[in-house]
Chain A
Amino acid sequence: DAGITQSPRHKVTETGTPVTLRCHQTENHRYMYWYRQDPGHGLRLIHYSYGVKDTDKGEVSDGYSVSRSKTEDFLLTLESATSSQTSVYFCAIEEANTGELFFGEGSRLTVL
């Protein structure tokens, strides 16, 4: 257990509304990631962070922004949710010494 908590675990929202997903870790890992998982596409990287206030885009970053003001929290924001952003979102941390990846339980988002 890498001490990763995602919230909310489930959310239903309407098109055009802002949504923020939170990833919280308890073990001071430097690298954190946000992925989305969709049938037929597997896991795709949205954004990642390599430290406080250091973030970068992944392959599917359009429509998403992130913030990391504290080591333990990595926030994913959908400024104006669209139906194409209906997905399961996973946060992950990378253990620096081994490069091993650990995932949270996921946040299921439905945009109506």
Chain B
Amino acid sequence: KQEVTQIPAALSVPEGENLVLNCSFTDSAIYNLQWFRQDPGKGLTSLLLIQSSQREQTSGRLNASLDKSSGRSTLYIAASQPGDSATYLCAVNTGNQFYFGTGTSLTVIP
């Protein structure tokens, strides 16, 4: 069974800092990997989708990378802002099922 891990569970950084969030998975046979943002009391908002044949995807200040062989994905946030404070989750799609990490709670301090 695929297992998805996100470490650390919580992260606090000063505004303006560049940061990296990590997502690891145990089985490299994936269809795609997706990063989400979740604000308190809200649903999950899709940030970036990386197909298994891709190495990275970029959207604005966000860049996600995928290394299937090592079972790792990273979400890079450049020049962090207080509005980036949220929980970030990654999800692995095996083609049959989605497996979710438990998220990293990010706080950006003004």
A residues in contact (CB < 8 Å) with B: 33, 40-43, 45, 90, 92, 98-106, 108
Q: Is the interface of B mostly helix, strand, loop or mixed?
A: strand
B residues in contact (CB < 8 Å) with A: 31-32, 34, 36, 41-46, 49, 51, 89, 91, 93, 95, 97-98, 100-103
A101-B43 in contact given A42-B102, A43-B100 (Cβ < 8 Å): no
Contact across chains for B101 and A100 when beta carbons are under 8 A apart: no
A99-B102 in contact given A90-B44, A106-B43 (Cβ < 8 Å): no
Residue from the set B34, B95, B97, B98 with the largest chain A CB neighbour count within 10 Å: B98
Residues on B with beta carbons closer than 8 Å to the beta carbon of A33: 98
Contact across chains for B34 and A103 when beta carbons are under 8 A apart: no
Residues on A with beta carbons closer than 8 Å to the beta carbon of B100: 42-43
Contact across chains for A105 and B42 when beta carbons are under 8 A apart: yes
A90-B43 in contact given A42-B102, A45-B97, A100-B34 (Cβ < 8 Å): yes
Residues on A with beta carbons closer than 8 Å to the beta carbon of B34: 100-101
Residues on B with beta carbons closer than 8 Å to the beta carbon of A103: 36, 43-46
Specify which of B51, B91, B103 is in contact with A101 (CB 8 Å cutoff): B91
